[in-house]
Homo-oligomer: A and B are copies of this chain.
Amino acid sequence: MAVIAYIGLGANLGEREAQIRAGLAALGRVPGVRVLDVSSLRETAPVGGPPQPPYLNGVARLETALSAPALLGVCQQLERDAGRVAGGPRNGPRPLDLDLLLYGDERIDTADLIVPHPRLHERPFVLEPLRELGVEPAALPRPARPLVVADPEEFAALNTGWLHGRCRTGLVPTMGALHEGHASLLRIARQTCDRVAATIFVNPLQFGPKEDFARYPRTLERDLALLAREGADAVFVPETSAMYPGGFVSRIAVGREAEGMEGAARPDHFSGVATVVAKLFALARPTHAFFGRKDAQQVAVLRRMTRDLGFPIGLVECPTVREADGLALSSRNVYLSPEDRRAAPVLYRALRAAHAAHAAGERRAEALLAVARGHLAQEPRARLEYLELRREGDLAPLAPGPVTFARLLVVARFAADGPHPVRLLDNLSLGAPLDA
């Protein structure tokens, strides 16, 4: 019943050693806790946080029959008893710091507590005292980050653990070939959530028979490096057969939001998108999911699916990330020839021109469209596929009358007569600040 636990000890305010010793003594008087051994205490430079005095650090070995949450609660209380104030700066100075480093062999992953401590392997002031107590840190489990999961059941179980741990969990569904647009989704997810999971799956259901499913860029190694850099906790990389087992039939119907624009150009595309995202939602049960607003109609379709099926998930539409010349980032930009790449920013220039006209007071839909069309017509490499003004939010057709607030969406084709045309999408809100 009792387990061996290791607690990191620290203080950099007041009588540092006395506070650490008093905290340990009080810990040893708690029912179900016995302090077995304490490393030497050493002086250490602070890690992060504001300018502050050096720390005294060490590690204690305990035997405890308390549950990990109970032990954590008691340690937090001892920190408060030593005069620590809740809500101080992150990594700020403190009279006593008690971190649960190890709790038997258990792995704990909750909003309040991760064990083994996630920074353990980076911190000499923890590693050295652990060695002094006979623990070889190299032998401890070192969770990969991101954790790469291919099995749907394993991904569901990981997310169940996070739910049990009261984590807000952000899901970032992608088809891989990650770029700075995805990095931005991951950063926004990290700000909102305790855990972030990306998914990488080139979803055959959303590609038409003549589309670029086979040719879609697949860059897993680079994707994993970007996910690691952005602090993703996990990435789900399933095989197609795991997502769509034999006999798969449960496609999800889509409606008005999927009509016109991309829905007209790509039959069944949005039903494929809604189906795969519903499956990811069903599996992972995140609290939030993050999508780029470049794919504006996709966001409208997914909002409908999410509301219809009642998933209690907040959909977060994130701003489009652009190259310096205004081209919206897209995994398909790599297909562009150098000449087309130079021509491609015409889409954003056209949208910006309409935005400027609107800001200057133009409210007639046809006039706004004509401004954008005029720019697009100047670029012969871009073959306009559609240019539409739609209602904000659900992207329904705009009611007649003055345009006060609307989304302008454009798609043009480059290399349109070659074997591999490249469709580029972009959109902009008129009546809102740029990139809002």
Interface residues of A (CB under 8 A from B): 1, 26, 29-32, 65-67, 69-74, 76-78, 80-81, 86, 152-153, 156-157, 160, 163-164, 166, 243-245, 247-256, 274, 278-283, 285, 304-305, 307-312
Contacts and interface: CB of A to CB of B under 8 A. Distances in A.
Given A249-B253, A274-B250, A74 B310 contact: no
A153 B254 CA distance: 22
Contacts of A66: 73-74, 77
Nearest to A73: B70
B250 A304 contact: yes
A69 B281 CA distance: 30
Nearest to A243: B310
Given A243-B310, A281-B282, 16 more contacts: A29-B29, A31-B74, A156-B310, A157-B312, A160-B163, A163-B163, A163-B285, A249-B304, A250-B252, A250-B253, A250-B274, A250-B305, A252-B252, A282-B309, A282-B310, A283-B311
A65 to B, nearest CB: 6
Nearest to A254: B249
Given A250-B253, A283-B310, A308-B245, A73 B77 contact: no
A242 to B, nearest CB: 9
Nearest to A166: B164
5 contacts: A245-B307, A278-B282, A278-B309, A279-B308, A279-B309
Contact of A30 (B31, B76, B248): B31
A253 B255 contact: no
Q: Name the 6 nearest CB pairs between A and B, nearest first.
A: A70-B73, A249-B255, A32-B77, A250-B308, A156-B312, A283-B310
B308 A74 contact: no
A154 to B, nearest CB: 10
Contacts of A307: 245
